Structure 1
Amino acid sequence: MILTEFDYVRPAGLDEALTLLSGTRGARILAGGQSLLPDLRAGADRAALLVDIRRLEELRGVTRTPDGTGLRIGSLTTLAELAADPLVLAEAPELAAAARANGDPQVRNLGTVGGNLAAAGRATDLPVAAMAADAEVELAGPGGRSTLAAEELAAGSAPAATVLTALLVPAAGPAAAFEKTADRATRYPVCATAVRITPGGPRIAVTGATSRPLRLRGVEDRLRGGPYGTDAVLAAFRAEPRELFVPGRGTSAEYLGHLVGVLTARALQRAERALDR
């Protein structure tokens, strides 16, 4: 039973979807539905109109960007497709690992890249991988196309009445990794971390242990140039303010700060080994 009434429409193209979203108060996008439909059933969310974009093939698939320096991942690409795509595995392995860690096979076969990135109020896996990759999202709205840093999207900066059409990811090669400790019941991350090792130093993003997905620039600065041994990484995390880590689900801030340090050390060491191959 769904505890809210709404209208439903399946637009034939992206332009029609944008017109519906901008012209109907309370219109919501339906893609994978893995977050929205459970919330509608529980009465935790409401919608006046569901705009079903699942058949918009222009929003699917993984290709290289026109300049050849990165990947363009359509927002309706499923998590299962993302986890298995050869280009993603070779050039953005932290994204493939984050997709593979998400939920169970049924969730991954239905859930989409755009939905996972835009999920509000949930600690999902893809945002930290996108942030560590220094990725951008491509948005379509009444005013045309625009891009927004994945970090800004995670902070809630996306304009209203826009559709997330693609994730734009700089290629990293193998020097990236993702690690997660999941809640056994929900598979949401108690703590997840994604890293990329770049010529300018490591990029590190975390979720679950923090109030929202965050780049940890203080830790990045302390680890610039290495080493990435566990002791060095844990020391870098101990220098972060304890209030950064939000206790919950029976865990303390102290525990979460240590856990995210251990997971980050593991991810950095895996990325470093891949870089040396």
Structure 2
Amino acid sequence: MIPTAFDYVRPDGVEEALALLAGTPGARVLAGGQSLLPGLRTGEAVPGGGPVRLLVDVTRLEGLRGAVRTPAGLRIGALTTLAELAADPLVLSEAPELAAAARANGDPQVRNLGTVGGNLAAPGRATDLPVAALAADALVELAAPGGRSTRTAEEFTATGPPPDTLITALLVPAAGAAGAFEKTADRATRYPVCAVAVRITRHGPRIAVTGATARAVRLHGVEELLRGREAYPTQEVLAAFRAQPRELFVPGRGTSAEYLGHLAGVLTARALTRALAAWTALG
């Protein structure tokens, strides 16, 4: 039973959906519903805050599903499910950290319903996809009444989606790179206690972490300390993490900042080892 009264509409196009969101106080986007519906059922806070007056079901909007290669890289539609993302051959070959993050998310039922856009924008708790998007240096494509725009994944994870916008795609730049993802999950919820995504390019490693931090973040300080190395021994990676400010890691669920910093370092060392092997194989 859902104890909240609201209206429901399924628009035929992106412009209609945007008009409904902009013109209806309390309107919310319904895609996979993995964050929204539990809040409606329990009466707890839902994404966006305030009462829900209208659900705008975007699940049948055209052109927002699947991954395609473009001259700039991969374009992954926001309505692509996590299960589809995890199994897509293009994503597996060109952005394996994204596929692995999708595969690590929840259980099969969650992955069959949850979407790329919903996972990127999910409020309140750490999810797996944003950290992989950060490591991939991806862009989030947004539709607003005034047109389309993009934000870097780093900016998007810091601010969230602007009001009255729709996430339409995740854009992964074309570049010779190798990536990997590692996660320690809460056994009950499958949310990450700590999840790490890395990508190795000719410019050095990109490293992002979530769960152990207040939100998904790029670890530019760690990247700088490891730049120019041909290998990433665990002890050197751990030393780079110990050099980071302790307040970066947020204790919770019986963990300390020191433990989470160490765990993030261990997971990063594992991910870098795997990514380096893939990078070497690329020649």
After TM superposition, the score normalised by the length of structure 2 is 0.95
SS in 2 for 1:59: coil
Is there any run of 5+ residues in structure 1 with no aligned partner, and where? none
- Corresponding residue number in structure 2 for 1:129: 132
Matched, 1:118 2:121: yes
> Counterparts of 1:86 and 1:173 in 2: how far apart (Å)?
17
Does residue 1:247 correspond to 2:277, yes or no? no
Q: What amino acid is the match of 2:115?
A: T
1:175 equivalenced with 2:178 (yes/no) = yes
SS state at 2:277 partner: helix
Q: Which amino acid aligns with 1:183?
A: D
Q: Are 2:184 and 1:200 aligned?
A: no
CA–CA distance in structure 1, aligned partners of residues 211 and 3 of structure 2: 29
- Structure 1 counterpart of 2:19, which letter? T
1:48 equivalent to 2:53? Answer yes
8 Å contact from structure 2 (residues 78, 116) kept in 1: yes
Matches of 1:153 and 1:184, distance apart in 2: 28
Does 1:266 find its partner at 2:270? yes
User: How many Å separate the matches in 2 of 1:37 and 1:119?
Assistant: 12
**1:84-138 Cα distance to aligned partner (Å, 9 max, x none):** 0000000000000000000000000000000000001110000000000110011
Q: Quick check: 1:150 aligned with 2:153?
A: yes
Q: Is the 8 A contact 1:10 1:53 kept in 2?
A: yes
Q: Retained in 2: the 8 A contact 1:75–1:112?
A: yes
Cα distance in 2, alignment partners of residues 148 and 268 from structure 1: 26
Q: Aligned letter for 2:199?
A: R
Aligned partner of 2:67 in structure 1 is 62
CA contact (8 A) 1:90 1:173 kept: no
- Cα gap change, 1:133/1:183 in structure 2, threshold over 3 Å: closer, same or farther? same
Shift of 1:158: 2.6
TM-score by length of 1: 0.97
Q: What CA distance in whole angstroms lies between the structure 1 residues aligned with 2:92 and 2:169?
A: 18
Deviates more, 1:157-166 or 1:113-122: 157-166
Match of 2:100 in 1: 97
- Equivalent pair of 1:92/1:173 in contact (CA under 8 Å): no
CA distance in 2 between partners of 1:216 and 1:205 (Å) = 6
The residue number in structure 2 matching 1:33 is: 33
Distance in 2, matches of 1:120 and 1:48, equals: 19
Query: What runs of 5+ residues in structure 2 fail to find an aligned partner?
Result: none
Deviation string for 1:143-199 (max 9, x for gaps)?
100001111111124321000000000135561100000000000000000001111
Residues 152 and 158, structure 1, Cα contact 8 Å, conserved in 2? no
Structure 1 segments of 4+ aligned residues over 3 angstroms from their partners: 171-174
Identity percentage of aligned residues: 77
CA distance in 1, matches of 2:14, 2:268: 39
Aligned residue pairs total 275
Secondary structure of the corresponding residue to residue 196 of structure 2: strand
Alignment RMSD (CA, Å): 1.0
Do the aligned residues in 1 keep the contact of 2:121 with 2:160 (CA within 8 Å)?
A: no
- Residue aligned with 1:270, SS: helix
- Give the SS at the match of 1:177: strand
Q: Which stretch has the larger CA shift, 72-81 or 44-53?
A: 44-53
